[in-house]
Amino acid sequence: KGGETHQSAGKVVMATVKGDVHDIGKNIVGVVLSCNNYEVIDLGVMVPADKILDAAVEHGAIAVGLSGLITPSLDEMVHVAGEMQRRKMTLPLLIGGATTSRKHTAVKIAPRYSQPTVHVLDASRAVTVVGSLLGESTRDEFVRDNADEQQRLRAAHEAKHTKLVSLDEARARGAGVEHTQQPAKPEWLGVRELRVPLDEIVPYIDWTPFFQAWELRGTYPRILDDATQGEAARELFENARALLARIVEQKLFEARATYGFFRANREGDDIVLWADEARSEVLARFCMLRQQRDSKKGRCASLADFVAERGSDDYLGAFAVSAGHGVDALVARFEAEHDDYNAIMTKALADRLAEALAELLHERARREWGYGKSEALSKEELIAEKYRGIRPAAGYPACPDHSEKRTLFSLLEAETRAGITLTEHFAMLPAASVSGLYFSHPEARYFAVGPIAKDQVEDYARRKDVKVEEVERWLAPSLSYDP
């Protein structure tokens, strides 16, 4: 930077891995490292392994930092680690992002690379980790402690064998959902698109995750009066509301949505959508996974359980929303002014608006479905999900396969109607987008599929008409075995 004469503490190459578009956490880490005299070479998002490693060599980096949010990114990080080993690199590898963990880093990534591979929990730890890895007096002890902890995590992972039941047994256990009542019928069927004014979305914002993105732990609004974090939280909130007011007033973002209701029935662990009233012509098919853990409750749930079998006139909803149109232009303006703080703030606010739009649209969908017409919930009750029904998203615990978004996006014509596209790893672009399914059954609930066995993987591959290896790739974090 012009005019500065102090010596850099070293260059750190950072990137969000190939197929992933999320970078708020990475950008905050970059700012923190820059403020501590490190030179950050930020390669951006969706960066292939070769580009990351070539940059590390070209810039003489002291460390490589990888970030990712969606589960396929975990596999890409394993690939990058393997490439670093193949190239005989000696740089420390730093791993971060919402889906990453100490355990996954120890079990899957570190064994692929013989040099220090460290999971960095958040931005506040990044400086300490990099400093410890570089310090002559601290490096050896830090590397040894990190390796010892990872060995303990691997040993614990190998010792912990979750008892799974067969797929047949899991299906026999089911979620125990009753389908005795006549399902609610939507007022209309098909797909519609919406443009929603930003000022209508703002009241639906859940601010707690916003503070978490900036590593302030606590619940809104209590965090504003927190003894240790209150002052920082209040300042952040004031800045956020000022920028949000400007975005709303000047219409700097465009909020777009597509959603629909469809005739639906369960067929085994699939949910079939019908194109005709006779329910004979298949419009789309969502393949669901089922819990196989041998739990005390004995139940093994699948999202398919919340939809009635043929013979009953049941329905399924679907949606895709984005508040990200216009975000890149505003971020570019702030970056041109070297205003990293407001560039990150812009993305964080766009994320909140997208989630708020999903909340607003779900409320509308419940009313149009009939069962939500008498709903009278406060915004706090909406955020606390006090309503009937759920809206699970592909890639999350109840349906961990991101590739099901392909079916969803085709069904909703999400690209043309809402301007949302999918990367090769099924991340959504713009990043401030949310998509999923609407279930209306009164007993519908969120759950985690958890580890699945080979018999389900093979069955799932048959149902999706893809190779077992492809399923294993997309569901790598959910497998109870090493392929």
> DSSP states of 40-76 as a string?
EEE--SSB-HHHHHHHHHHTT-SEEEEE--STHHHHH
Q: Rounded to whole angstroms, how far apart are CA atoms 54 and 91?
A: 13
Given 67, 73, 322, 440, the catalytic residue:
73
Beta bridge partner(s), residue 12: 40, 63
The rounded distance, in Å, linking the Cα atoms of 147 and 188 is 58
Instruction: Check: CB of residue 307 under 8 Å from CB of residue 441.
Output: yes
Any bridge partners for residue 295, and if so which? none
Give the distance, in angstroms, between the CA of residue 73 and the centroid of all CA atoms in the same chain.
10
Counting other chains too, the contacts that 327-334 makes at CB distance below 8 Å and 24 or more residues apart are 327/253, 327/430, 327/431, 327/432, 328/430, 329/252, 330/247, 330/252, 330/253
Concerning whether 441 is annotated as a catalytic residue, the answer is no
* Among the listed residues 389, 419, 235, the one whose alpha carbon sits nearest the alpha carbon of residue 324: 419
Give burial (CB, 10 Å; 0-12/13-18/19+) of 380: exposed
Which is nearest to 92 in space by CA: 8, 12, 17? Answer: 12
Q: Which residue is it, tokens 């993305």? A: 347
Nearest to 118 by CA among 89, 91, 85: 91
Ramachandran angles phi, psi of 66, nearest 5°: -110, 140
Which among 441, 172, 438, 183 has a CA at the least distance from the CA of 311?
A: 183
Residue (of 348, 307, 300) closest to 327 by Cα position? 348
Task: Answer yes or no: 478 catalytic.
Answer: no
Residue 16's SS3 state is: strand
Annotated catalytic, 8? no
Angle at 61 between CA 60 and CA 64, to 5 degrees: 145
Category of 432 on φ-ψ map: left (φ > 0), alpha (ψ -120 to 50) or beta? beta
Distance of CA 40 to the CA centre of its chain: 25
Cα angle: 206, vertex 211, 213; to 5 degrees: 105
Hey, which residues are catalytic here? 20, 22, 73
